[in-house]
Amino acid sequence: MSYTGPGFEPPPARRSRSRLLTVALAALVPGALLGWAVYAIVGGSGDDKGGGSAAAGASGSAGSSASASSRAPSSAGGSASGESGDPDGGKPGGSATSGSPSDRASSSAPAGSGPLKGKVVVIDPGHNPGNFRHTAEINRQVDIGTNSKECDTTGTSTNAGYAEAKFTLDVAHRMRALLEEQGAAVKLTQDADRPFGPCIDERAEIGNKAKADAVVSIHADGSGVGNRGFHVILPGSVHSGAADTRAIVGPSRELGERIAGNFVRVTGNAPSNYVGDGTGLVTRKDLGGLNLSTVPKVFVECGNMRDSKDAALLTSGAWRQKAAQGISEGIVSFLRG
């Protein structure tokens, strides 16, 4: 997506007493409000690439997992990815690589014990590293209830060629490891295990058929230089054609708020300075991945790949681990009520 907005004003420097104040707040302030409170106190340095993380004191933290990133496949699509016009994903119909959503989804190992035992989480890594080789297929129109849209896009990339599709898979792998440690059964909508896709409608169907307790679609934005920060996209109330989000608007907002609060707290990064009026929350009715969902679902735009400061974070493995942890802890908080 591409937006214009005011330039980013760097937050004030961290103060030496910030850690003590953060711990105190962690005991006093629940839910999404905690994230913004901590950000206001510690200054929310957007340039932190993995130094002292506030995540150490998080309730139910799954900790770091080096094995998660080691499973990430390499991406062939880095230099070919263009700026994304839509954060949805994609798959063409009638492909020999397609199949039922339950067949195509990449499932986790059997869930173990933990606070999320019995819960199903679907992670939707935006786009696919191979999409750029299949532009005709991903340009095919699909029905999203309110209108038709492209099956998918290639996604965006940093100016140096680090592809959004590679970023989303890496974060998804890290999230899968963290959530499985909490006992959840985790499914990915794609794991670079198909030439392209799936389409936005099939991505939604995968979550629906899994009867997921939560679905999170992972993305990075392609906005203008100076536009910084993350935002969480929530489904608006849509009742048109095949789309009916009325039952999921409320729980999806709660999921989004908890993710946003934990993302700020764990990463120390500010919400977007160009959409969401500083809340980190944006409601949209034009995304098929949300419109066609029948289970709680949100999109997370983790940062802006076209801004050099955000790009430095997005290309850091240490920061991606923190992003995965912040999102995962938001999911845990939502599912545990």
Structure tokens at 2: 């591409």
Below-50 pLDDT ranges, the chain: 1-104
Structure tokens at 30: 């629940």
Q: What percent of the chain has pLDDT over 90?
A: 66
* Best CA proximity match to 266, nearest among 79, 9, 20, 63: 63
In this prediction the pTM is 0.74
Residue 113: the pLDDT is: 83
Structural domains of the chain, ranges and CATH numbers in brackets: 18-45+53-94+111-336 (3.40.630.40)
Residue 111: the pLDDT is: 55
Residue 286 burial class via C-beta count within 10 angstroms: exposed 0-12, middle 13-18, buried 19 and up: middle
Question: What backbone phi and psi angles, to 5 degrees, belong to 191?
Answer: -140, 40
Residues with active-site annotation: 301
Residue 110: the pLDDT is: 56
Going from the C-alpha of 136 to that of each of 133, 141, 152, the distances in angstroms are: 9, 10, 10
Residue 264: the pLDDT is: 98
